[in-house]
Chains A and B, each alone.
Chain A
């Protein structure tokens, strides 16, 4: 028997469309939350590293060169 799933459009959350079992239990919801946290952490780290790189390049051209 296949499990009925519903589609959640996360819109500007940037995770696009995701499917989740209609009768998802707490454990599944927890897994989903942890996966969202992990992807947000990666995204934040990328933003932080790229911001620092941009800042370094800007300082190089406006202050040090």
Chain B
């Protein structure tokens, strides 16, 4: 009985998910979904509610009838399940309710403010998820039943990075790899030496500047912990350094995307800047998705830079060990830093990249650009700006010379924001896909007409139609589904990340590490911004 009591939160959360799925499938929520513009995702909402709720009930029953153990099944599934579902329910609520609501409110406030808040502050589901996580953990606190699930956030984020490996081509990896080794190498080593130099100027102990230089240069907390014994840092110096790195990283995570948009950076430039200037892997992913959550171009670039930065850790340990005059420790040898600390998730990333490059995810019938994806999803939609262009053109009757079928396809594109079949026929995939394909053919014929100068289109309308057609051409069904999973892993991981940003962690920053950390962090961010703007041009990403 006591075990059933312990599982009460899991039963309640799972039950709520199933009730929600039932309500959504009955059509009772349709008016709300229509108002929020999320009706197209209704089927996904129903499926996720039933699947997650079902797994939750199953887990709760197993937990109730079985004695808790210490197996991997207990540690990685049964114990964190309530927390995982708690975060998942939040991710769903943020993605399908809070984000659309913020957009609607922001649009209605535009006449008063003169700008859209959600655009200026990048209030997409990533930033909102982080903020909700921060608010919960610093007010009510993480519920006891969810604590184990929240701890999963880190490895779920790593799962996202591993699966991102499936989205690179050899050419992309080679080009981005070249940029990243040069930029990250320069800035990591530059920051380390700059911090050491600042320490000398301000007459600070080598132990403190040593540990801070690794934290500010490489990858935050892990680097600090790895370098502390090498430079014989004091415990207080470690605490100050970790506080400084976390506080600085959190500020960067929110400021970088706004500055990036303001400066008109393209996805490649922003990804390079975030991957170089931000200190922590999770914060890099958060900033990249805050900058652009619809397609994953920015994330792809940022993660390559991030991975390169993580790989620099052993080099920095070696540099600091020579600087501090310490060959090896009693327990922590250079070998243990290189081998034991080697990030295995990078091997996973390369494995997925290799599997994708060998064509494992793309059967011959799905070769690049062959798979047509008419499903309702952000990745198949045109951008807000493109939609506004098309909507204005249709309302003003400015597109001339189209046949009735072509005009109907354009009007449907405006109505659905993407090329798709009829909403009502979505359950019959054959009919739905045929309608989508017919509309795509009509739009392609418009583009052909514009090329042959039989149809006159403005440059913006032509670009919007072209992008709409491109959006439904996907590499393969497997890669598309893996990408969907990856986006959910990142969303989940980042809400969990928000829940680990506590006031205590931030306010432990202080003393000289805070001063030197801020000077070196801001210098690195500004210089890397300038170098990226100057050197990094757009790279064609698929």
Contacts and interface: CB of A to CB of B under 8 A. Distances in A.
- The answer to whether A and B belong to the same complex is yes
A16 B154 CA distance: 12
Contacts of A14: 151, 153-154, 500
Interface string B448-465: 000000000000000000
Interface string A17-32: 1001111101101111
Interface string B290-331: 000000000000000000000000000000000000000111
A40 B343 contact: yes
A55 B221 contact: no
Contacts of B513: none
B332 A34 contact: yes
Nearest to A44: B344
Nearest to A42: B155
Interface in B203-229: 220-222, 225-226, 228-229
A12 B500 contact: yes
B268 interface: no
Interface residues of B, number: 63
Interface in B243-276: 243, 246, 249
Contact of B477 (A31, A32, A62): A62
Which of A12, A41, A43 is most buried by chain B, counting CB atoms within 10 A of its CB?
A12
Interface string B225-240: 1101100111110110
B506 to A, nearest CB: 8
B340 interface: yes
B20 interface: no
A64 B347 CA distance: 26
Contact of A37 (B341, B345, B500): B341
Given A48-B347, A62-B478, A12 B229 contact: no
Contacts of B159: 47, 50-51, 54
A47 B348 contact: yes
Contact of A63 (B155, B158, B166, B363): B363
Task: Give the dominant DSSP class at A's interface.
Answer: helix
B340 A29 contact: no
Given A11-B242, A29-B233, A51-B352, A36 B225 contact: yes
Contact of A6 (B232, B239, B500): B239
Contacts of A27: 229, 329-331
A12 B151 CA distance: 9
B505 interface: yes
Contacts of B235: 6, 8, 20-24
B322 to A, nearest CB: 17
A8 B238 contact: yes
Contacts of B183: none
A13 interface: yes
Interface residues on A, range: 35 or more
A47 B345 contact: yes
A37 B229 contact: no
A59 B356 CA distance: 12
B282 interface: yes
B221 A9 contact: no
A26 B211 CA distance: 13
Interface string B390-429: 0000000000000000000000000000000000000000
A20 B343 contact: no
Contacts of B348: 44, 47-48, 51-52
A10 interface: yes
B361 interface: yes
B169 to A, nearest CB: 18
Contacts of B481: 58, 61-62
A6 B433 CA distance: 62
Nearest to A39: B154
A55 B332 contact: no
A29 B331 CA distance: 10
Contacts of B228: 29, 32-33
Interface of A: 6-14, 16-17, 20-24, 26-27, 29-34, 36-38, 40-41, 43-48, 50-52, 54-55, 58-59, 61-63
Interface of B: 76, 151, 153-156, 158-159, 162-163, 166, 220-222, 225-226, 228-229, 232-236, 238-239, 242-243, 246, 249, 280, 282-283, 329-332, 336, 340-341, 343-345, 347-348, 351-352, 355, 360-361, 363, 477-478, 481-482, 485, 497, 500-502, 504-506, 508
A-B pairs with lowest CB-CB distance, top 7: A11-B505, A44-B344, A9-B505, A47-B158, A29-B229, A13-B221, A14-B154
30 contacts: A8-B238, A9-B246, A9-B508, A10-B221, A11-B500, A11-B505, A12-B221, A12-B246, A12-B500, A14-B500, A22-B236, A26-B229, A26-B330, A27-B330, A30-B229, A31-B331, A32-B225, A32-B229, A33-B228, A37-B340, A38-B340, A44-B158, A47-B159, A48-B162, A48-B345, A51-B162, A52-B348, A55-B482, A62-B477, A63-B363
